[in-house]
Amino acid sequence: MVSHSGLLTVMERAARKAAPRLRRDFGEVQNLQVSRKGPADFVSMADKRCEDTLVEELKKARPDWGFLLEEGGEIKGNPDKPRWIIDPLDGTTNFLHGIPHFAISIAVEEPRPGGRPEVTSGIVYQPITDESFWAEKGRGAWVQSQRLRVSSRRELPDALIATGIPFLGHGDFAQWSRIFGAVAPEVAGIRRFGSAALDLAWVAAGRFDAFWESDLKPWDVAAGVLLVREAGGFVTDFRGGDRAMERNEFLAANDVLHSKLHKLVAGALR
Ligand code: 2AM
Ligand code: CA
């Protein structure tokens, strides 16, 4: 058993404050599926409303911190203080189609004088299952009060792997196809569930053995990457280097599978 820090309590409280409305809106989306215009505008409003609630709650607790928001962009705060990185609804396409697989992601990024800022706390909250995946740097990854560890599977034929597939002109189809072509024949299965934040949380929880995706945004991955690392996993770029954020390539797994996968992926991209 472990208890959160005060900061994590603030983050979880904000997510839980925004969640009931999101759940209600999700119920409404299911009714709107049949309307001619569909629920697209309604979903953008639900997304924005959720973000507004999160910002309001977090501002109350840390008035001088800035924000990086999926919907609202950047809100400057005191540059010497941390900032919040928020995705109010990761898995929007699922939400829009009435598929109950989406999450709120909140991360804290701390400035490092003379260096890259660093994510030190993160939460991925799934409003439908009421699961709260959280991590703090140096204090491990958890779901509610249960410690998370990445899976201990070591063999590719046992590994279930999550990915994100390029869509609607976004992303590099040729690159994704090459990686898929190299990985899929070697592993137990590939899944595309549509929320990068939950994919990473599920790698941390050992549900998925690995994850790869490129062309993500900081708010999709800020909390999830910390979760995987604090659960004992590796997150790198596709060449196995430590520039996942800069190259916008994410390969996450336990140490053994990570080294096997990164060889396959690097081979495919040669
Ligand atoms: P979003 O749900 O917040 O938009 C999955 O591939 C990741 O890509 C998700 O984290 C998702 O974040 C993002 N994404 C953005 N637009 C997408 C789309 N049209 N289809 C699938 N994923 C999308
Ligand atoms: Ca997102």
Q: Among the bound ligands, name the one nearest to the CA of residue 215.
A: 1
Q: Which residue ranges of the chain lie beneath pLDDT 50?
A: none
pLDDT of residue 266: 93
β-partners of residue 142 are 134, 147
Question: 163 φ, ψ to 5°?
Answer: -150, 170
Tokens (6 digits) for 260: 């096997």
Lookup result for tokens 């119920």:
27
Spacing, Cα 246 to ligand 2 middle (Å)? 18
Tens of pLDDT, residues 235-270: 999 999 999 999 999 999 999 999 999 999 999 999
Q: Where are the domains of the chain?
A: 6-147, 156-268
Question: Measured from the CA of 216, which atom of ligand 1 is nearest?
Answer: 8
Q: Which of 68, 89, 90, 92 to mutate to test the pocket of ligand 1 (most atoms within 8 A of CB)?
A: 92
CA of 195 to the centre of ligand 2 (A): 7
CA of 163 to the centre of ligand 2 (A): 14
Residue 32: the pLDDT is 81
pLDDT at site 178: 98
CATH of span 156-268 = 3.40.190.80
Q: C-alpha distances in angstroms, 235 versus 121, 216, 222?
A: 16, 14, 12
60 contact partners, CB below 8 Å, separation of at least 6: none
Q: What is the pLDDT of residue 155?
A: 98
- Residue 105 Cβ inside 6 Å of ligand 1? The answer reads no
Structure tokens at 130: 């009421």
Does ligand 1 come within 6 angstroms of the Cβ of 47?
Answer: no
Question: DSSP H helical segments within the chain, as ranges?
Answer: 6-32, 40-61, 92-96, 173-183, 196-204, 218-230, 244-247, 255-269
- In this structure, the strands spanning 83-90 and 66-69 are parallel
pLDDT of amino acid 2: 66
Segment 65-85, tens digit of pLDDT: 999 999 999 999 999 999 999
Q: pTM higher than 0.75 for the full model?
A: yes
What does DSSP say about strands 140-143 and 146-147: parallel, antiparallel, or unpaired? antiparallel
CATH classification for the domain delimited by 6-147, as one of 3.40.50.1360, 2.40.33.10, 3.90.1150.10, 3.30.540.10: 3.30.540.10
Instruction: Give the model's pLDDT for residue 187.
Output: 98
